[in-house]
Copies of this chain bind each other. A is one copy, B any other.
């Protein structure tokens, strides 16, 4: 069972115990367009204490730059390099781990956020927001589904411009091009917005997984690559890192899989029942009512 953090002494011990704090944002720092309680004050306090702060999001539709815009709007201090999205982590993974060859390109099934991050690491791509790939084909007209031996990876993320032409092209590359990597930014089945949920990144990857009969390498939470990307970029000691989130199956599982400690806050999706039940998907190291509680130390 996780340790409940309730007193000033608990908070102080926690802050002293770790150097690097990774934050999920939705349900932890903000909900929609509103900061949750004193979350901002806690972040300021951690910075003042000399802690490193990072924000990790599965949202791959926007670049880190566009993500920073939200922080600015809410008056929360944040540098672009402190943001890790499943799109930026995917680009890093292709570049650093897979050593993606300069003469190859990535076929993108997703939005501009992925393209911007591939640009940032100098990897060529096709598909994505290219108008030629964002059209409906006529029924049974496969004339535009042709080979492209230059494609060395297919990278999928939430794509509100998903269409059959893109899937048929991606499927062809993955079947024909030897060693072509099949990657997904994340497999979230839904994403919450404005008090409801809509089909998520996992839903727009699903046609390809189904046709191929195999699953992609997943970069985002709860899988390991995004964490490894942060650790490698900065040379951090995992025993001094803490992941803070509101969802067991993404944030807390992300910490568990990556072997770092986790703190669950109760201001978002999951509550105590989530980790108290026998078949819990993940168990946090600590539980705290709200991130803002720590600001009492300030």
The residues of A with any CB-CB pair to B shorter than 8 Å are: 61, 111-112, 134, 136-140, 142, 145, 159-164, 167-168, 171-172, 175, 189-190, 193-194, 196-200, 202-204, 206-211, 213
CA distance A50 to B207 in the complex (A): 44
**Are A198 and B171 in contact, CB atoms less than 8 angstroms apart?**
yes
For A201, the closest partner residue in chain B by CB is B210
Additional pairs, 16, CB under 8 Å, beyond known A112-B139, A168-B199, A203-B210: A61-B139, A61-B140, A136-B161, A137-B160, A139-B160, A142-B193, A159-B164, A161-B164, A162-B163, A164-B204, A172-B196, A189-B210, A190-B211, A199-B207, A199-B211, A207-B207
**A142, A209, A211 — which one has the most chain B CB atoms within 10 A of its CB?**
A211
A175 cross-chain contacts in B, Cβ below 8 A: 197
A selection of 8 A-B contacts at a CB cut-off of 8 Å is A139-B160, A162-B162, A162-B167, A167-B199, A171-B198, A189-B210, A189-B211, A198-B211
**Are B211 and A203 in contact, CB atoms less than 8 angstroms apart?**
yes
CA distance A159 to B207 in the complex (A): 11
CA distance A163 to B167 in the complex (A): 11
CA distance A208 to B145 in the complex (A): 24
A167 cross-chain contacts in B, Cβ below 8 A: 162, 199, 203
A134 cross-chain contacts in B, Cβ below 8 A: 136
Closest chain B CB from A154 CB (angstroms)? 13
What is the copy number of this chain in the assembly?
Answer: 2
Closest chain B CB from A269 CB (angstroms)? 15
Of the residues B138, B190, B208, contact of A203 by C-beta under 8 Å: B208
**A136, A160, A204, A213 — which one has the most chain B CB atoms within 10 A of its CB?**
A160
Closest chain B CB from A27 CB (angstroms)? 18
**Are B163 and A189 in contact, CB atoms less than 8 angstroms apart?**
no
CA distance A200 to B213 in the complex (A): 12
CA distance A138 to B61 in the complex (A): 12
**A61, A190, A193 — which one has the most chain B CB atoms within 10 A of its CB?**
A190
A211 cross-chain contacts in B, Cβ below 8 A: 189-190, 198-200, 202-203
A213 cross-chain contacts in B, Cβ below 8 A: 189
For A159, the closest partner residue in chain B by CB is B164
A142 cross-chain contacts in B, Cβ below 8 A: 193-194, 198
CA distance A137 to B61 in the complex (A): 14
Closest chain B CB from A199 CB (angstroms)? 4
**Are A198 and B160 in contact, CB atoms less than 8 angstroms apart?**
no
**Are A162 and B160 in contact, CB atoms less than 8 angstroms apart?**
no
A161 cross-chain contacts in B, Cβ below 8 A: 136, 163-164
CA distance A199 to B202 in the complex (A): 17
CA distance A207 to B199 in the complex (A): 7
